[in-house]
């Protein structure tokens, strides 16, 4: 015999000699159905192991109870944690999560967005790639009535909701920390300016230098694509400057670890010759030697928050929400000039 197809309303109706509509109403506790019938239907449904086929609903509503998530780099503790936060909240609200990885590539991101649209997901949470400078693929979703919330990496457009870290603030604090350690030639290792995350963090860095009357030197702003190779080259360029930086602030995990390796390989002492601090969610930062100072963001909470906002939009809330999640500075060995050396 073929596979046990799930029991349907029709089956229950047939068994009980009722109409499909009555069964449907009884099952959702419609008060216009007599208590006796309701009980009878309830029991039959349980016996037959009935579960509602939500695809039928979806056909009518044109929307599946699914939330689409697009991240640029899924195989990281940061994004897997964001994803877990999203899943957590989504599950509580009756949504499942479909995730896709754009691998930091614009073309893949576009393809992901169109897959999501074809899938008729109820809404999308996205973190853009470092290549993305054109945002029309997202705009067209809005035109279609599919809500979008950006997480971690926002886009410049003003009309979307987003959840981000307190980037400028965190970079400011980290820079001040370095200044207080006696660093005067502080470099920053950046991703592309197309990411608002980057410009925000750079802004915090510059503000701190201004406030402490230190010059902002263009040669100390190292740009790179966000990958290990690029970051290694950019760090090497910084270290080769006539006036070598005495500190580096790295804008994310990838950049931070690449910078660390490059500094060590150059035979420089850390923090003696070059202090290092960076944005990171890698718990291993505290196990490497020297223990790395980091700015941690609350990735899980960012995911949960983004999902809550998105579900709000799905349910009809039109107001955009821009939420900032605090980070925390973890001072460890790599940025402490006065610490044990």
Partner DNA sequence: TTGAAAGCGCTAACAC
Partner DNA sequence: GTGTTAGCGCTTTCAA
Whose structure tokens read 């001072």?
331
Residue 92 makes contact with a second copy by CB under 8 A: no
Residue 269 makes contact with a second copy by CB under 8 A: no
Among 2, 29, 49, 62, binds DNA (CB under 7 A): 62
Residue 34 makes contact with DNA by CB under 7 A: yes
Residues 6+ apart with CB under 8 A from 255: 189, 190, 191, 224, 226, 231, 278
Which of a second copy, DNA, none does 96 bind, CB closer than 5 to 8 A by kind? a second copy
Residue 3 makes contact with DNA by CB under 7 A: no
Q: Which two tokens stand for residue 62?
A: 């044109």
Which of DNA, a second copy, none does 19 bind, CB closer than 5 to 8 A by kind? DNA
* Residue 137: Cβ-neighbour burial (10 angstroms; 0-12, 13-18, 19+): middle
Residue 63 makes contact with DNA by CB under 7 A: no
Q: Are 66 and 121 in contact (CB under 8 A)?
A: yes
CA-based max dimension of the chain: 90
Residues 14-53 close enough to bind a second copy by CB under 8 A: 51-53
Q: How far is the CB of 65 from DNA (least distance, A)?
A: 13
Residue 227 makes contact with a second copy by CB under 8 A: no
Q: CA end-to-end span of the chain, whole Å?
A: 74
Q: Which two tokens stand for residue 302?
A: 């960012």
Indicate the helix (H) or strand (E) that contains 215.
Answer: none
Whose structure tokens read 């930062």?
285
Residue 128 makes contact with a second copy by CB under 8 A: no
Contact footprint for a second copy (CB under 8 A): 2-6, 51-56, 58-59, 62, 64, 66, 74-77, 79-81, 83-84, 87, 91, 96-101, 115, 117-120, 143-145, 257, 260-261, 282, 284, 287-289
């Amino acid at each position: 015999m073929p596979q046990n197809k799930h029991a349907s309303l029709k089956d229950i109706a047939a068994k009980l000699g009722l109409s499909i509509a009555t069964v449907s109403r009884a099952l959702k506790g419609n008060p216009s159905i007599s208590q006796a019938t309701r009980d009878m239907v309830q029991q039959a449904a349980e016996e037959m192991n009935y579960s509602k086929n939500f695809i039928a609903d979806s056909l009518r509503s044109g929307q599946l109870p699914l939330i689409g998530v697009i991240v640029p780099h899924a195989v990281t503790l940061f994004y897997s944690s964001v994803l877990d936060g999203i899943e957590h909240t989504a599950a509580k609200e009756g949504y499942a999560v479909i995730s896709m990885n754009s691998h930091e590539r614009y073309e893949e991101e576009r393809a992901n967005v169109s897959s999501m649209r074809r899938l008729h997901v109820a809404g999308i949470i996205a973190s853009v790639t470092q290549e993305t400078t054109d945002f029309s693929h997202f705009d067209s979703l809005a035109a279609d009535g599919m809500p979008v919330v950006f997480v971690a990496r926002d886009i410049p457009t003003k009309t979307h909701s987003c959840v981000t870290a307190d980037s400028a603030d965190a970079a400011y604090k980290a820079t001040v920390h370095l200044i207080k350690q006696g660093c005067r030639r502080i470099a920053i290792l950046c991703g592309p300016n197309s990411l608002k995350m980057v410009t925000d963090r750079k802004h915090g860095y510059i503000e701190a230098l201004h406030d402490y009357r230190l010059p902002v030197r263009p040669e100390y702003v190292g740009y790179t694509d966000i990958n290990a190779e690029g970051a290694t080259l950019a760090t090497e360029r910084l270290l080769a400057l006539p006036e070598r930086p005495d500190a580096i602030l790295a804008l994310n995990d990838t950049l931070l670890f690449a910078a660390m390796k490059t500094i060590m390989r150059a035979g420089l002492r850390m923090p003696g010759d070059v202090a290092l601090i960076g944005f990171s969610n890698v718990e291993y930062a505290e196990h490497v030697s020297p223990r790395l100072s980091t700015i941690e963001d609350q990735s899980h909470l960012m995911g949960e928050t983004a999902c809550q906002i998105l579900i709000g939009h799905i349910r009809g809330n039109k107001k955009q929400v821009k939420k900032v999640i605090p980070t925390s500075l973890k001072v460890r060995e790599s940025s402490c000039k006065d610490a044990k050396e």
